[in-house]
Each structure stands twice: as C-alpha cells, then as structure tokens.
Structure 1
C-alpha cells in the first residue's frame, strides 16, 4: 500500500489518497480542486471506497460532494461536527474567505476511538480534539502513517483560536494519542511537510518546553 499527498483547494490543504495494489483507495480531506483530484484517481486507475474527514473546516471539504457524487462513496466525520459541512458559518468559509464552501451532511458519524474497517483498509481512529471539537486522526498501521489533519505539524501544532478550539485539549490529544504511536510513524498533516512522531517528540517546541 502507498499514499499520495495532493495540495488542494483555496489554502492548498494537504489531501491524501491511500491506495493498494488492487487499486482500491480512500481519500482524506479533499479540500477542493475536484478536477485535479479526479485526474489523479483516473490516471492511477483507482476506485475510491470512502472519504475520511479529519475535521470539517472549509479548507478540508471543498471537493467532498464532487467525490461523493462521482464515485458514490460514503463520507465519514466525527459526530461533534454534525451540521458543519452544510453551514458556512460553522465550517469557517464565510468568515475567512467571504464565500460559502459547503457539502451535504456526512453519511456516517464517528463516535469513539477504535477500529474503522473500510475494505480492504483498516484504521485506528484516534479522537484528537483541540483544533476543533470533532478533530480525529486516522492511524494506518500497514503504512506506519497517521493522517492527523490540523492537530500536529512539523514543529508546530494546530491553531486553537477558532470556534470550539481549546489549546490544552489539543496538547492533551497530541500527548495521549499521537505521541503514543511508534516513533517511526509518519505524520501526514493538513498543511506543510510530513514529519514523524519521533522527530516531533524531539524538536517540536510546543511539545517539549522549548517555546
């Protein structure tokens, strides 16, 4: 199995496509540029099985409906952000870019930590609120990757000054969920370059008292 990082949408948010040798795929955070995303899927001959959202901010959702309609796949989101996809004031698009970015409501809501099986993929769902109330991270053991959204970045952490953000909750999520993963785990963040859990344990100033 392997994955591809695709900068998408108005903020060039990192979307990801995880796929196997049989050309099954899962899409994380399709933030926009539906044509670019579809071109990659078609060029690789991939068949999406689902869309997984780390959270429902506007820059992570812009191509959700296009993907859902084209490939007839379910969209997963944490229940604490139910109602955010269709509402610009909740997903932040009306506030930050002065236009409405919306999607239809999610098809399936995540409620708790645990295993999520989307054949042939299996993920460990980690509840990582703080950047937003329903932020989740998806750990894929076979590729040793955690798709972390805007929770943890290379030498940074997610902002917490948006509605529902909580700085201490974010730090708790990182320490008790993400930093418990193997140190060699690749962190695939919502913005910027990838990193690893071990590197962030050593170098992230927000986590090790260097700030």
Structure 2
C-alpha cells in the first residue's frame, strides 16, 4: 500500500508530500517548495529512490526545491502543466517555475505510472491557469485549489474565481470520501469539505 508523508517546508510552511511505494522502494515528491536537502535526507533515510517530481502549480513556494533535488537525482522527470513554466523568461517570473532539466508537461486525462499504481492528472485551474490535481487511488494532491475549509487565492496573475469554483465543483463531485492533501495546512477529506467548506458549498449550488 502506498504511504504518504507530509513535510511542511519553506517560509510559509507549504506542504511537500513524499508518496512512497514500499514494495518497489520508489518515491515521488509532490511540490518540493524548499529545503531540498531536508527532503532528500528523508528519502534516503527511508531507503527510497526518487523517481519523479510532481508539481501542482508553478508558484515559488511550491517549486523552490526542484533544482536542488535534481542535483541529487539527475535525470528524473518533473511533471507540470505547460502553463506553469516560465518558458519565455518574461512577465512575473516570481510566480512561475523556471525551466529545469527533464520537464515533462502533462494535461487533463494523462496518467503517470508509479510502481504498480497509476497517477491520474486532473486540470483544476482557478488559483493559476495550469493548476493540477494528482489523483492516486483515494488520494487527491490538489495544491492550492482546495484547502481544508477554504480554497486558494484567485487574485494572483492568471487566477480566476469562476474557474476555481468550477474546479471545486468537479473535485467535490468525485465519488467516495477521497483524502484531500492540500498545498497548505492540514489534510482533510471530501466528505468533510462537502458539508463544511463554504467555497465548495457555493460551487455546488
């Protein structure tokens, strides 16, 4: 069974997640926002091999640790939506992932193999144009789209309140009581968010 370890990192305690497959000893890192050395230490301490980096969106507090991890694990793929990469090195560079080696852009409906499991890619814009949710079994890594009791800001460049409501409606309409692993603060569940989250309730009306 896959295991999940949450590591708050960086200036504002962004949630970085280690998705671990005990059978294959593979690890996927979701949103390494900072402290690459600490993340790498946790991976090696558990006897795991880092096989990929998953980026929910390109804001600085979710990606600052990417270059450091790639130095330690060269050649591993970095999965991200194309709209979250600063390809032209223009505009608001502070809010986009700088191009790094081995970027693999993914989109709605793509799947990424991980050991015996499969990671489903969902495009959930609103907080940013290319925000992604990665679904692995009954777990949603939803970045800054859905929080416990709240949702991500939409006042940044490329944000849209209308779009995030559509994304929240889509996530809340998924079957089952899926676990919600957000980009900040605590882990929740869809059952809880469907009845307590005012933004989800608005989206479902």
Tell whether 2:2 aligns with 1:6.
Answer: no
Partner of 1:137: 133
**Runs of 4+, deviation exceeding 6 Å:** 84-88
For structure 2, list consecutive stretches of 5 or more residues without a partner in the other structure. Answer: none
1:167 is aligned to 161
What is the aligned residue count?
200
Is contact 2:10-2:34 (8 Å) kept? yes
| C-alpha contact (below 8 Å) 1:56/1:85 kept by paired residues | no
- Asked if 1:155 is matched to 2:158, the reply is no
Are 2:187 and 1:191 equivalent residues in the alignment?
Answer: no
Q: What whole-Å deviation, never above 9, does each CA across 1:156-177 have from its counterpart, x for those lacking one?
A: 011000000000100101112x
Deviation at 1:208, TM superposition (A): 1.6
CA distance in 2, matches of 1:85, 1:14: 28
Alpha-carbon distance between aligned partners in 1 of 2:136 and 2:34, rounded to the nearest angstrom: 24
Say if 2:77 is the partner of 1:82.
no
RMSD of aligned Cα (Å): 2.2
Partner of 2:105: 109
SS of corresponding position for 1:208: helix
SS in 1 for 2:195: helix
Q: Distance in 2 between matches of 1:122 and 1:135?
A: 19
Whole-Å Cα distance in 2 between the matches of residues 60 and 16 of structure 1? 11
Partner Cα separation in structure 2 for residue 38 and residue 116 of structure 1? 22
**Residue 54 of structure 2: aligned partner:** 52
Q: Which runs of 5+ in 1 are unaligned?
A: 94-100
1:179 corresponds to which of 169, 172, 175: 172
Task: Classify the secondary structure of the residue corresponding to 1:172.
Answer: helix
Deviations 1:42-87 (CA, angstroms, capped at 9, x unpaired): 1101101100000000000011011122112111110122326966
Change (3 A) 1:34 1:125: same
Per-residue deviation, residues 123-169 of structure 1 (Å, max 9, x unmatched): 1111100000000000101xx11000000001101100000000010
Distance 1:57 1:18 in 2: 21
Residues 74 and 206 of structure 1: is their aligned pair in 2 closer, same or farther, counting only changes over 3 Å?
Answer: same
The TM-score normalised by the length of structure 2 is 0.89
What secondary structure does 1:4 align onto?
strand
**Which residue is equivalent to 2:29?**
27
Structure-1-length-normalised TM-score = 0.87
